[in-house]
Structures are given as C-alpha cells and as structure tokens.
C-alpha cells in the first residue's frame, strides 16, 4: 500500500508539473471600450439631427492562449456593447447596437512578454431602436478588422490594448438603410488557462 501511495503521489507531481509547463490553450479578455460611432442615416432624414458620437461600453473575448516561441493562428469570439445613438431633433430616435465578432487571429510573439496580433473576421451586428412611437430591429453580418497588443504579467495574467473596426447596414422603421461604422479602442485584462 505504501508503495502504491508513493507511486500515486509521484505520478500526480509529474503530471501537475507537465501541465504547469504547457502553454495556456485559452484566454479570456475582459475590457472597457471607447467607441466612435460614425453611423449615417437614410438621406430622407435631416442630417443636422445626427452627428458622430463617442460611446463607452464593456465587452469580453474568448480566444487562443499565447505561444511564446513561434507565430500561431487562432480563433477569437465574444461580445461587445457598441452603445446608444440618439437623434437631436423631434420626433426622438434612439438606436442601440451590440456586436458578436468571430475573428481569425495571427499571434506574433515579440520577445518573452509581448504579442502583436492582427485579426480579420466577420461580426454579427444587432441593432434595436425607437423612432417616435415606432420600434424596430435589424441584424447584419459584415467584415471586421483589428489589431491587438498583449503584454504578459505572468503565465496566467496579462494586459491587452486593441483597436477594431466594425461595419454594418440595417433597414429600420421603413425609412431606408442605416450604414453603421464603428472604430473601437479597448483596454483590459487577460486571464489564461
């Protein structure tokens, strides 16, 4: 019995040591964002009632862990609240937008602590709004681009800054197409396992 316990403890120690030396397979990025909303409205509406706006919103991404020695390709997805855009005139109009992006990420390690990652993908944009007494909603799937820089604080923790561009087009309230363009700058923490 004693020999069995010694073998069991030795095997567990060896296995846990091997796991500790592996590169993390996944990461979760929690962040806050500054969102530049450059949405344009249909030409039938008064352009003086609408202007570009900066919003702030939370988000998260789930993506690949980091390989410290060689470039690698991974997949990343998540959720981002892009904010609310309101009309300045009467009748009041308000549009709320969020996005679910799916991205292909090329992770390029620079030294032991820094990773630079260009990304390309598609985003599923969800739009809800009100215009006077009317309400409307729409969705679109469009390409997105981005770049992030990640700095390791430890094997499990890091910081990330990123910039991304999202676009979309939706028809709302029977008025025509709202062309949505968002530039998003984000900063937050990364947890890896």
Closest CA to 148 of 119, 120, 121, 122: 119
pLDDT tens for the chain, residues 1 to 193: 555 444 444 444 444 443 444 566 788 998 999 999 998 888 888 888 888 889 998 998 888 776 666 888 889 999 999 999 888 888 888 999 999 999 999 999 998 889 999 999 999 999 999 998 899 999 999 999 999 999 989 888 999 999 999 999 999 888 889 899 999 999 999 998 7
Domains assigned to the chain: 24-192 (2.40.160.20)
Q: How many CB atoms lie within 10 A of CB 56?
A: 10
Q: Which residues contact 138 (CB under 8 A, 6 or more apart)?
A: 127, 170, 171, 172, 178
């Amino acid at each position: 019995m004693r020999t069995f316990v010694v073998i069991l403890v030795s095997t567990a120690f060896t296995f846990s040591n091997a796991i500790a030396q592996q590169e993390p397979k996944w990461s979760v990025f929690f962040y806050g964002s500054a969102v530049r909303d450059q949405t344009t409205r249909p030409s039938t509406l008064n352009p003086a009632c609408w202007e570009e706006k900066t919003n702030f919103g939370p988000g998260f991404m789930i993506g690949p862990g980091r390989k410290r020695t060689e470039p690698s390709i991974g997949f990343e997805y998540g959720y981002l609240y892009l904010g609310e855009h309101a009309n300045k005139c009467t009748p009041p109009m308000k549009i709320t937008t969020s996005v679910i992006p799916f991205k292909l990420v090329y992770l390029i390690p620079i030294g032991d602590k820094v990773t630079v990652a260009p990304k390309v993908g598609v985003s599923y944009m969800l739009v809800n709004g009100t215009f006077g007494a009317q309400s409307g909603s729409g969705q679109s799937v469009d390409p997105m681009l981005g770049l992030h820089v990640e700095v390791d604080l430890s094997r499990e923790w890091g910081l990330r800054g990123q910039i991304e561009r999202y676009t979309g087009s939706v028809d709302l309230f029977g008025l025509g197409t709202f062309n949505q363009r968002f530039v998003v700058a984000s900063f937050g923490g990364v947890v890896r396992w």
